[in-house]
Amino acid sequence: MVSFRVDQLRDEAISAFHGFLGLPVEFEVELEDFLDALLDYKGEGKEEPDKISEKNAILAILGQHYELIPFGSGRRICVEFSLAHRVVQLGLATLLHSFDWELACNVTPKNMDVTERMRITVRKLVPLTAIPKRRTV
């Protein structure tokens, strides 16, 4: 996850979203606690090297792998998948090319914290904060 020093705007947007739907602000925290408890109950919260197999290590996005069932696979693949794949690549490439990037808070690649948290998806425990600087030509 990359944040662009818009934490205050993000918090205001989340507050407005929760207010619009009539949800309490604590809803997000309660949901994360519920998911943590569910993962611990099923034993999936623990990291086990045996779960990672050679079969899962080589997974083609557009192949016949039915582990990617939300997008479908093979003949029943989502028709917008190839467009979305190209748009995400183009957007990321444009951002990387348009700016010079710096790490925030005196973080260097050598002392960067790369610990992860296991929930529905694996995320970094401490989010990466990158600061875009206008590229000088």
Q: Give domain limits for the chain.
A: 2-46+79-134, 48-77
- Tell me the average pLDDT across 45-54: 50
Q: How far is residue 134's CA from residue 87's CA, in Å, rounded to a whole number? A: 23
Q: Reduced to 3 states, what is the DSSP secondary structure of residue 124?
A: strand
Residue type, 71: F
pLDDT at 59 > cutoff 60: no
pLDDT score of 8: 47
> Can you name the residues that pair with 123 across neighbouring β-strands?
117
Q: State the chain's mean pLDDT as an integer.
A: 67
- Tell me the average pLDDT across 80-85: 78
Classify residue 39 as exposed, middle or buried by CB count within 10 Å of its CB (0-12, 13-18, 19+). Answer: middle
Answering whether pTM is above 0.85, one says no
- Tell me the average pLDDT across 115-129: 84
pLDDT at 19 > cutoff 60: no
Q: What percent of the chain has pLDDT over 70?
A: 43
Given pLDDT bands bounded at 50, 70 and 90, which one contains residue 55?
Answer: low
Edge-to-edge strand order for the sheet containing 128-134? 2-3, 128-134, 99-103
- SS3 percent helix, strand, coil of the chain, rounded to 5, is 45, 15, 40
